[in-house]
């Protein structure tokens, strides 16, 4: 479904990703792990069109997404849950979801999609009129995921969803992501919690200083060596 | 009741030129016309300001609007009917040159304000430098069309009442534009952008396009205000119509009145102009700078105690007042 083909990208003079190749098939859940500064967030941002590609190609179902703007990519069915949640703090929970369904195609199905999100995250339904900034960290992360679902995507990019959450909350969040997966969404997730994310996904890539170092099935990678590499990079 | 108040207000405004206002009738009419014209400009500014696009250079659009029509008329006899669309086009071009690079490359917040500040000054200096055309810092006077008291082609009228109604019409049109934006998807999109640009982009909002759209709209309305000013006052000078001074005066008025409400910019403009006129009449030339000092004080107090502006703040207080029937309270929309 998604192909990242020998992509090089960066910011200004700085190159964050070198020759990165990655693929996600429909219905699959794939993780990208790696130490801080490896380029994981940049990888997410090139897929969602927030950072331009310098070389290589990015394809969704065979169509090139190279040079497309973020809003065009959302309309193609890729939703990005950015790092640090990035909800709209002064809008209410419900208004945040409305913004998620901003594109006309998604807006037409607002009521239906919203019902699915309320079902998935009942705690959000209880707080629909509350300002999003007053939610707890975990609830904000759920809202960020819910908002991404509102655009009716096929592929969801999750960038460090567990960042800054209490350990209990992290477990709950992973359960919820598992449920999102069971609903049939394809998932590409970047995580620091390597062990937990490996229990969630089918395959994983290890990214180090901008290059893919290891790739394989999650079950095969769940050994000590890989996990250590992902954490400390040696 | 809710509908009645604006309706009564509108009737009073329409009947104003015939009300018995005493010997100062013409003067009062003059001040009201000025208030209406500057309210158009203030409303235009608030279109951007309310979404965090703080421009400190709206004088540029104002100056371009006023000077384009007046110079076209003075040099080639192009009537304002044709001059106005050209002035709007020029202001929009300027907005595009300013906005596109800023929005594309994420020049936001303070940096955006500084860029606009520079733009206002550039236009003022340009007007001064091109003195063969523009009269430089001495200003330029709109050529009298002659041919009687009412000249429809040149939009020049000896009778202030005609101008009063034109200004009233443009002001109402400006309010309609504001309200149209307020009720559209553009508003939600720009609110989201104002909260967090990256998040807005990640949910599929075309950030650059929306910011550009509101900037062009604001520049258009500001230029129309400038045209109106030129046709009414018939004398332009770069200090009054471009540069930092006027740009900041627009901002002060809107912040004073409140930029999140329909009538906020108008109330703020009315107060600042009325205050300046009152102080001018009361003190004459004895206390120069008194008006500015009082503005400054009022502004500081209002920013501290009524962050939603005078009109916005008082409206909130009015809505939050205790009522016998709690159920009848309409839901308060977030500003």
Query: What is the pLDDT averaged over residues B193-209?
Result: 89
With CA atoms as reference, the chain A residue closest to B186 would be A102
> Is B201–A150 a contact, with Cβ atoms under 8 angstroms apart?
no
Whether B135 has a pLDDT exceeding 70, the answer reads yes
Is there a domain that residue A130 lies in? Answer: no
Q: Is B335 on the interface with A (CB under 8 A)?
A: no
Using a CB-CB cut-off of 8 Å, the residues of chain A touching B191 are: 88, 91
- How confident is the model at residue B329, as a pLDDT? 45
From residue B38, give the alpha-carbon distance in Å to each of A137, B116, B224, B242, B265. 46, 19, 11, 14, 9
A87: exposed, middle or buried (C-beta count within 10 Å: 0-12, 13-18, 19+)?
A: buried
- How confident is the model at residue B314, as a pLDDT? 82
Q: Which residues pair with A214 in a beta bridge?
A: A206
**pTM for the full predicted model:** 0.84
Rounded distance, CA A146 to CA A185, Å? Answer: 13
With a CB cutoff of 8 Å and minimum separation 6, the contacts of A145 are A81, A121, A156, A158, A161, A176, A177, A180
pLDDT-derived band of residue B331, with 50, 70 and 90 as boundaries?
Answer: very low
A/B interface, count of CB pairs below 8 Å: 70
- By Cβ distance, the residue of B195, B198, B203 closest to A102 is B203
- How confident is the model at residue B290, as a pLDDT? 73
pLDDT-derived band of residue A34, with 50, 70 and 90 as boundaries?
Answer: confident
Query: What is the pLDDT averaged over residues B196-203?
Result: 88
Query: What is the pLDDT averaged over residues B83-101?
Result: 96
Interface probe for A, chosen from B104, B184, B199 (most Cβ of A below 10 Å), is B199
With CA atoms as reference, the chain A residue closest to B194 would be A88
Report, in this order, helix, strand and coil percent for chain A, each rounded to 5. Answer: 40, 30, 30
Question: Which has more confidence, A25 or B322?
Answer: A25
Q: How far is B247 from chain A (nearest CA, A)?
A: 29
> Is A82–B199 a contact, with Cβ atoms under 8 angstroms apart?
yes
Rounded distance, CA B238 to CA B125, Å? Answer: 8
Q: Express each pLDDT in A103-147 by its tens digit.
A: 888 999 999 999 999 998 999 999 999 999 999 988 999 999 999
Average pLDDT, chain B: 87
What is residue A194's three-state secondary structure?
helix
Is there a domain that residue A118 lies in? Answer: no
- Contact of B59 with B119, CB cutoff 8 Å: no
ipTM of this complex: 0.81
Rounded distance, CA B335 to CA B321, Å? Answer: 17
Is there a domain that residue A103 lies in? Answer: no
Is there a domain that residue A144 lies in? Answer: no
Nearest CA among B274, B280, B135, B163 for reference residue B229: B163
Rounded distance, CA B180 to CA A78, Å? Answer: 32
Nearest CA among A11, A168, A139, A153 for reference residue A80: A153
Indicate the range of A25-39, A52-66, B238-252, B286-300 predicted with least confidence.
B286-300
Tokens of B172: 């109402």
Nearest CA among B231, B197, B154, B262 for reference residue B52: B197
Is there a domain that residue A163 lies in? Answer: yes
Rounded distance, CA A106 to CA A100, Å? Answer: 8
Is there a domain that residue A140 lies in? Answer: no
Radius of gyration of chain A from Cα atoms? 17
Q: Is B192 on the interface with A (CB under 8 A)?
A: yes
Q: Is A147 on the interface with B (CB under 8 A)?
A: yes
- By Cβ distance, the residue of B192, B206, B334 closest to A69 is B206
Enclosing domain of residue A58: 2-85+154-232
Report, in this order, helix, strand and coil percent for chain B, each rounded to 5. Answer: 75, 0, 25
From residue B106, give the alpha-carbon distance in Å to each of A86, A209, B13. 17, 27, 43
> What percent of chain A has a predicted confidence (pLDDT) above 70?
97
What is residue B66's three-state secondary structure?
helix
Using a CB-CB cut-off of 8 Å, the residues of chain B touching A49 are: 201
Rounded distance, CA B219 to CA B71, Å? Answer: 19
- How confident is the model at residue A217, as a pLDDT? 87
Token pair 């005493």: residue = B22
Token pair 């009152």: residue = B278
> Is A50–B202 a contact, with Cβ atoms under 8 angstroms apart?
yes
Using a CB-CB cut-off of 8 Å, the residues of chain A touching B203 are: 74, 79, 99-100, 102, 147-148, 150-151
Is there a domain that residue A113 lies in? Answer: no
Query: What is the pLDDT averaged over residues B7-26?
Result: 81
pLDDT-derived band of residue B323, with 50, 70 and 90 as boundaries?
Answer: low
pLDDT-derived band of residue B123, with 50, 70 and 90 as boundaries?
Answer: very high
Return the half-sphere exposure (C-beta side, CA atoms, 13 A cut-off) of residue A57: 7
Return the half-sphere exposure (C-beta side, CA atoms, 13 A cut-off) of residue B239: 3
> Is A151–B200 a contact, with Cβ atoms under 8 angstroms apart?
no
Across chain B, which distance is largest between two alpha carbons, in Å?
68
Total domains present in chain A: 1
Token pair 């655009």: residue = A151
Instruction: Give per-residue burial for B79-95: e unless 16+ CB within 10 Å, then b.
Output: bbeebbebbbebbbebb
The CATH number of residue A56's host domain is: 3.40.50.300
Is there a domain that residue A133 lies in? Answer: no
């Amino acid at each position: 479904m998604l192909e990242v083909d020998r992509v090089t990208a960066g910011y200004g003079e700085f190159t964050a990703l070198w020759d990165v190749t990655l693929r996600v098939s429909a219905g699959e859940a794939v993780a990208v792990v790696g130490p801080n500064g490896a380029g994981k967030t940049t990888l997410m941002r090139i897929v969602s069109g927030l950072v331009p590609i310098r070389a290589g190609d990015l394809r969704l179902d065979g169509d090139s997404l190279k040079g497309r703007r973020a809003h065009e990519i959302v309309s193609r069915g890729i939703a990005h849950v950015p790092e640090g949640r990035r909800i709209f703090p002064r809008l209410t929970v419900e208004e945040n979801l409305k913004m998620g369904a901003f594109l006309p195609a998604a807006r037409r199905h607002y009521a239906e999609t919203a019902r699915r999100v309320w079902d998935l995250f009942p705690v959000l339904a209880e707080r629909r009129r509350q300002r999003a900034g007053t939610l707890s960290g975990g609830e904000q992360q759920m809202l960020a995921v819910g908002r991404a679902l509102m655009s009716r995507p096929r592929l969801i990019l999750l960038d460090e969803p567990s960042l800054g959450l209490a350990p209990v909350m992290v477990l709950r969040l992973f359960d919820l992501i598992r449920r999102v997966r069971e609903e049939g969404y394809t998932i590409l997730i970047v995580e620091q919690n390597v062990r937990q994310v490996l229990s969630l996904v089918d395959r994983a890539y290890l990214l180090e200083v901008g290059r893919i170092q290891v790739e394989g099935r999650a079950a095969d990678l769940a050994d000590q060596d890989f996990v250590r590499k992902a954490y400390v990079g040696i | 009741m809710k509908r009645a108040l604006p309706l009564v207000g509108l009737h009073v405004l329409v009947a104003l030129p015939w009300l018995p206002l005493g010997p100062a009738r013409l003067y009062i009419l003059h001040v009201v016309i000025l208030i209406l014209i500057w309210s158009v400009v203030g409303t235009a500014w608030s279109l951007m300001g309310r979404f965090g696009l703080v421009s400190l250079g709206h004088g540029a659009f104002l100056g371009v609007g006023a000077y384009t029509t007046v110079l076209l008329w003075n040099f080639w006899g192009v009537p304002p009917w044709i001059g106005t669309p050209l002035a709007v086009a020029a202001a929009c071009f300027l907005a595009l040159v300013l906005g596109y690079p800023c929005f594309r490359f994420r020049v936001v917040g303070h940096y955006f304000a500084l860029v606009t500040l520079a733009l206002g000054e550039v236009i003022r200096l340009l007007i001064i430098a091109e003195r063969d055309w523009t009269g430089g810092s001495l200003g330029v006077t709109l050529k009298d069309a002659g041919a009687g008291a009412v000249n429809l082609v040149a939009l020049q009228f000896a009778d202030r009442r005609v101008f009063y109604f034109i200004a009233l019409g443009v002001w109402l049109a400006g309010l309609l534009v504001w309200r149209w934006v307020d009720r559209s998807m553009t508003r939600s999109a720009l609110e989201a952008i104002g909260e967090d640009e990256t998040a807005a982009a990640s949910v599929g909002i075309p950030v650059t396009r929306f910011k550009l759209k509101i900037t062009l709209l604001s520049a258009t309305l500001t230029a129309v205000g400038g045209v109106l000013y030129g046709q009414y006052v018939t004398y332009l000078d770069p200090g009054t119509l471009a540069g930092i001074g006027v740009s900041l005066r627009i901002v002060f008025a809107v912040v004073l009145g409140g930029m999140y409400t329909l009538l906020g910019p108008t109330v703020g403009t009315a107060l600042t102009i009325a205050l300046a006129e009152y102080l001018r009449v009361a003190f004459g030339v004895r206390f120069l700078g008194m008006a500015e000092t009082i503005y400054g004080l009022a502004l500081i107090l209002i920013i501290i105690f009524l962050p939603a502006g005078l009109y916005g703040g008082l409206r909130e207080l009015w809505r939050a007042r205790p009522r016998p029937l709690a159920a009848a309270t309409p839901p308060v929309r977030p500003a």
